[in-house]
Amino acid sequence: MTKVVVAMSGGVDSSVAAALLQRQGYEVIGMMLRLWSEPGREASNRCCAPAAMNIARRVAGRLGIPFYAVNAQESFRNIVVQNFLDGYARGQTPNPCLACNRQIRWEFLLARALALGADFMATGHYVRIVRSPDGPVRLFEAVDTHKDQSYVLHVLDQGKLQHALFPLGNLTKSEVRQIAADLKLPAATSKESQDLCFLAGQDYRDFLQRYQPHQAQPGPIVDRTGKQLGEHSGLVNYTIGQRKGLGIAAAEALYVLGKDQARNTLVVGFADELGSCELLTESVNWLVGFAPAEPLDAEVKIRYSAKKAAARVTPLLDGSAHVQFKEPARDITPGQAAVFYVDGEVLGGGLIAKMTKKLARVESELSPSDVIPVA
């Protein structure tokens, strides 16, 4: 019998993933990561709080499958949380789910699944994969485009995709909840959260102020010419495109355009100054294992919640890529990922390094509310 480890979280998605795989005849093992939480807030981490761990154990008991808890606190703190802090220190807005999927879930946990003799690892992500006997494993958007989570899985390579299963890719969220209710799974009514798991429900700005208090230092607000218009209360308190709360009287509405981290300066301007037609990524992960030989026309997402936009993607010799949009894209944000799609298939993606226009020297920021929840 083919053995599969299901990464469980106590939520409805991973619980139904385990149930469906068992129904399909797999030998299923449940495995849950114990992730880092800020000292004193352990009970509030929505991914691995004691209550969530208890639900996952109850689901495993209901299904009659083995269940293991794996301590990943040190790795999660050193990799995911540190990446979050380092990114903000550089004036970027990192997406912790990208680092978590690349290095924690699909390296740390996958290694332990394979060590148990598993052939596959499965998660509750809404995404589809297509296998062919003589070709690469291909990754596609989920049927339920409102729940699609392919954006954060562009970090997977063929070595990982060969061991991946995503049982929910052809289902809608309502169908998943109905399955959980029909099976009387303890997670059937579990609520979803858009918060970052390690923030334990707190505002990310409060977290950054405790770990990086320099980000809360006041400084000048300037326009693109460098003219000072006012004073900000700390760069961490502002997001790209923000209009309210600037405290500046002007004849025309002003918006946050970006940040100059080195000078602790907030850059503002008018609505027509937002956005760019071009960006550069850092090294791109091409899911088939190599870059296309020629530029390609694709649809590009610049953050999880963004709509895909038509663009020309040109692979560069250093492994990065140049992206030129047909229409200006707002909120291009260094630290987020640009992910490339053709006909619903994820071809690859890389972290956004900068915009390539007048604002290229300005570091950008985006709220973590655009970060995807853990499946």
Q: Are residues 97 and 226 in the same domain?
A: no
At residue 357, the pLDDT reads 56
- Measured in degrees and rounded to the nearest 5, phi and psi for residue 299 equal -105, 135
Question: Which of 143, 172, 189 is where one domain is finished?
Answer: 189
Whole domain around residue 20: which residue ranges?
A: 3-189
Q: Going residue by residue through the chain (375 aa), what tens digit of pLDDT does each one get?
A: 999 999 999 999 999 999 999 999 999 999 999 999 888 776 666 666 788 899 999 999 999 999 999 999 999 999 999 999 998 888 788 999 999 999 999 999 999 999 999 999 999 999 999 999 889 999 999 999 999 999 999 999 999 999 999 999 999 999 999 999 999 999 888 777 666 788 877 888 889 888 888 778 899 999 989 999 999 988 888 877 788 889 998 889 999 888 888 899 999 999 888 888 999 999 999 999 999 999 999 999 999 999 999 999 999 999 999 999 999 988 888 899 999 999 999 999 999 998 765 433 333 333 444 443 333
Overall number of domains in the chain? 3
CATH code, domain carrying 251:
2.30.30.280
Asked if 359 and 276 count as a contact pair (C-beta separation under 8 A), the reply is: yes
Question: Which of 222, 247, 271 is where one domain is finished?
Answer: 271
Q: Are residues 117 and 54 in the same domain?
A: yes
The pTM of this model reads: 0.90
At residue 363, the pLDDT reads 37
- Measured in degrees and rounded to the nearest 5, phi and psi for residue 195 equal -75, 155
Determine, yes or no, domain membership for 196.
Answer: no
Q: Are residues 259 and 124 in the same domain?
A: no
CATH code, domain carrying 304:
2.40.30.10
Nearest alpha carbon to residue 237 among 262, 263, 256: 256
Determine, yes or no, domain membership for 205.
Answer: no
Q: Are residues 243 and 160 in the same domain?
A: no
Q: Are residues 97 and 224 in the same domain?
A: no
Nearest alpha carbon to residue 256 among 359, 120, 145, 110: 359
Tokens representing 173 are 């969220």
Q: Are residues 107 and 15 in the same domain?
A: yes
CATH code, domain carrying 146:
3.40.50.620
At residue 43, the pLDDT reads 65
At residue 174, the pLDDT reads 95
Determine, yes or no, domain membership for 250.
Answer: yes
Q: Are residues 260 and 283 in the same domain?
A: no
Q: Are residues 280 and 305 in the same domain?
A: yes
Helix (H) or strand (E) holding 340: strand 337-342
Determine, yes or no, domain membership for 183.
Answer: yes
Question: Which of 256, 271, 286 is where one domain is finished?
Answer: 271
Residues classed as catalytic: 100, 197
- Residue 106 class from Cβ within 10 Å (0-12 exposed, 13-18 middle, 19+ buried)? buried
CA distance 99 to 189: 29
Q: What is the DSSP letter of 263?
A: G
At residue 69, the pLDDT reads 96
At residue 195, the pLDDT reads 66
Q: Are residues 225 and 79 in the same domain?
A: no
Determine, yes or no, domain membership for 222.
Answer: yes
At residue 364, the pLDDT reads 39
Q: Are residues 117 and 254 in the same domain?
A: no
Determine, yes or no, domain membership for 195.
Answer: no
Determine, yes or no, domain membership for 16.
Answer: yes
Determine, yes or no, domain membership for 209.
Answer: no
Torsion from C-alpha of 236, 94, 359, 235, nearest 10 degrees:
10
CA distance 159 to 289: 10
CA distance 59 to 254: 51
- The DSSP string of 51-117 is HHHHHHHHHHHHHT--EEEEE-HHHHIIIIIHHHHHHHHTT----HHHHIIIIIIIIIIHHHHHHTT
| CA 125 to chain CA centroid, nearest Å | 12
Half-sphere CA count of 140, side-chain side, radius 13 A: 16
DSSP helix, strand, coil percent of the chain (3-state; round to 5): 30, 25, 40
At residue 245, the pLDDT reads 87
